[in-house]
């Protein structure tokens, strides 16, 4: 079995590029390897955790979104064999290609936190990083009448770096509206060093943190959880580099799991030193194998990993891949654009947009560092519609 173009992963990135490529040339022989029968709209899971979005509305059949003209191989890639232009699948099939697009997303490493897999989804331990636990997040919030709610943020690359804060601000607003601000203590324990990397947006977020009386602790990495004892252990790195452990009691613990490139990418010849697919950050073409391209969460560009980034990467990749197929030099460039629609409360959102150099690259002709109801409407109603009807169809 061999394709002109083979795509690894039929998520946001895989389906977007497949649809765009087939719109440009319906005759392309294109295969998509994707193991999941379901496709998920992950950006809505923070709203599921906040009790304002039904998780069922974030899940649809993959089959309904495979673009016409593409062939879906319901299997998973196990090994890349770039010297032979083939991949080996979990079912033991060898599939060949002329050009390969690698976009299997990011891996959630729940097991890296001791005790977490046993207690996730019970004992007040929840996460919006999975459709399985996002509804439980709201249950935890509803049941929280007093005590401490801790929100973690993992150090290292994660998808949607703003998600750990979005759910925290929804929780803060929920607690304030329930009149429980004096009874429930909120803590943000982050492996990072700042609330947001761009001062323009950080300024607004510091005010939001103050509004909900959230205590912030940086350089705190969650390493262990005991659900029954309701204890979370953090590795704390002091400014002088010394490391200690601290145990915190919780009544609700929202987890952002540590994340990495999927193991089968990390352990392949395609990976860079950090494990991601080693592509040029402007052209998205592999640095060693010119017939391989990558985009989305698994790719090695130093942008913030979001679906919004995928939207800007996809047309660049499509243009460069078609050029490479014609024997031309890829010349389209991705500028590192990413966006983070940070929910700051029910009906409130700050839309951060920026490039590789952390320069704001805003879409709207107003100051996007302000919290706005209109931007909430965009996130809650408009973006999900655009995702299913335009982005996955290759028209946006």
Ligand X SMILES: Cc1cc2nc3c(=O)[nH]c(=O)nc-3n(C[C@H](O)[C@H](O)[C@H](O)COP(=O)(O)OP(=O)(O)OC[C@H]3O[C@@H](n4cnc5c(N)ncnc54)[C@H](O)[C@@H]3O)c2cc1C
Catalytic residue positions? 160, 340
Output the smallest distance, CB 240 to ligand X, in A. Answer: 34
| Residues of this chain that bind ligand X (CB under 6 A) | 8-14, 33-36, 42-43, 45-46, 76-77, 103-105, 128-129, 159-160, 163, 262, 264, 296-298, 305-308, 310, 341
**Cβ-based nearer residue to ligand X, 186 or 265:** 265
**Cβ-based nearer residue to ligand X, 230 or 286:** 286
Spatial separation of the C-alpha atoms in residues 214 and 78, rounded to whole Å: 43
Cβ 177 vs Cβ 267: under 8 Å: no
Residue 244 tokens read as 């200690």
**Cβ-based nearer residue to ligand X, 145 or 274:** 274
Cβ 163 vs Cβ 307: under 8 Å: no
Residue 238 tokens read as 């002091």
Give the pairing type, strands 252-254 and 231-237: unpaired
Residue 208 tokens read as 């939001």
Q: Which residue has its beta carbon closest to ligand X? A: 11
Query: Following DSSP, what letter does each residue of 352-391 receive, concatenated?
Result: EEE-TT--B--SSSS-TTS-BHHHHHIIIIIHHHHIIIII
Spatial separation of the C-alpha atoms in residues 208 and 371, rounded to whole Å: 9
Spatial separation of the C-alpha atoms in residues 175 and 49, rounded to whole Å: 14
**Cβ-based nearer residue to ligand X, 134 or 233:** 134
Spatial separation of the C-alpha atoms in residues 379 and 376, rounded to whole Å: 5
**Cβ-based nearer residue to ligand X, 55 or 310:** 310
Output the smallest distance, CB 270 to ligand X, in A. Answer: 13
Spatial separation of the C-alpha atoms in residues 34 and 293, rounded to whole Å: 17
**Cβ-based nearer residue to ligand X, 35 or 69:** 35
Query: Following DSSP, what letter does each residue of 217-257 receive, concatenated?
Result: E-SEEEEEEETTTTEEEEEEE-TTS-EEEEEEE-SEEE---
Helices 134-143 and 163-177: angle between axes, nearest 10 degrees: 30
Q: 108: helix, coil or strand?
A: strand
**Cβ-based nearer residue to ligand X, 100 or 175:** 100
Output the smallest distance, CB 110 to ligand X, in A. Answer: 13
Phi and psi of 216, rounded to 5°? Answer: -105, 135
Nearest to 80 by CA among 168, 184, 169, 9: 9
Nearest to 187 by CA among 222, 155, 157: 222
Burial of 351 (0-12, 13-18, 19+ CB in 10 A): buried
Output the smallest distance, CB 91 to ligand X, in A. Answer: 11
Spatial separation of the C-alpha atoms in residues 94 and 86, rounded to whole Å: 6
**Cβ-based nearer residue to ligand X, 233 or 314:** 314
Output the smallest distance, CB 32 to ligand X, in A. Answer: 8
Output the smallest distance, CB 370 to ligand X, in A. Answer: 18
């Amino acid at each position: 079995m061999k394709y002109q173009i083979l795509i690894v992963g039929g998520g946001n990135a895989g389906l977007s590029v497949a649809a765009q490529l087939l719109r440009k040339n319906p005759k392309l022989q294109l295969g998509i390897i994707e193991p999941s029968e379901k496709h998920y709209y992950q950006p809505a899971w923070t709203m599921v955790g906040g009790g304002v979005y039904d998780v069922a509305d974030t899940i649809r059949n993959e089959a309904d979104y495979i673009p016409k003209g593409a062939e879906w191989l319901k299997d998973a890639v196990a090994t890349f064999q770039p010297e032979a232009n083939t991949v080996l699948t979990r079912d033991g099939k060898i599939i060949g290609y002329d050009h390969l697009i690698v976009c299997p997303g990011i891996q959630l490493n729940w097991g890296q936190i001791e005790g977490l897999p046993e207690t996730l989804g019970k004992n007040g331990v929840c996460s919006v990083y999975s459709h399985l636990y996002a509804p439980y997040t709201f249950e935890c919030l509803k049941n929280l009448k007093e005590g401490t709610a801790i929100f973690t943020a993992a150090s290292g690359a994660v998808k949607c770096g703003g998600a750990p804060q979005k759910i925290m601000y929804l929780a803060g607003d929920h607690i304030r509206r329930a009149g429980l601000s004096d009874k429930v203590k909120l803590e943000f324990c982050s492996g990072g060093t700042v609330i947001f990397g761009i001062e323009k947006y950080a300024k607004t977020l510091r005010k939001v943190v103050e509004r909900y009386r959230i205590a912030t602790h940086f350089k705190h990495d969650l390493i262990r959880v005991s659900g029954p004892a309701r204890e979370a252990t953090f590795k704390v790195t002091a400014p002088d580099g010394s490391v200690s452990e601290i145990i915190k009691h919780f009544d609700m613990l929202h987890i952002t799991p540590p994340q990495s490139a999927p193991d089968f990418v990390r352990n392949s010849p395609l990976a860079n030193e950090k494990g991601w697919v080693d592509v040029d950050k402007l052209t998205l073409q592999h640095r060693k194998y010119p017939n391989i391209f990558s985009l989305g969460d698994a790719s090695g560009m130093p942008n913030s990993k979001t679906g919004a980034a995928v939207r800007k990467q996809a047309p660049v990749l499509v243009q460069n891949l078609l050029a490479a197929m014609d024997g031309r030099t890829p010349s389209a460039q991705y500028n590192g654009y990413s966006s983070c629609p940070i929910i700051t409360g029910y009906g409130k959102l700050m839309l951060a947009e920026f490039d590789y150099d952390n320069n704001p690259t805003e879409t709207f002709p107003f100051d996007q560092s302000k919290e706005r109801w209109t931007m909430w409407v965009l996130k809650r109603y408009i973006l999900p519609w655009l995702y299913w009807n335009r982005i996955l169809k290759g028209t946006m």
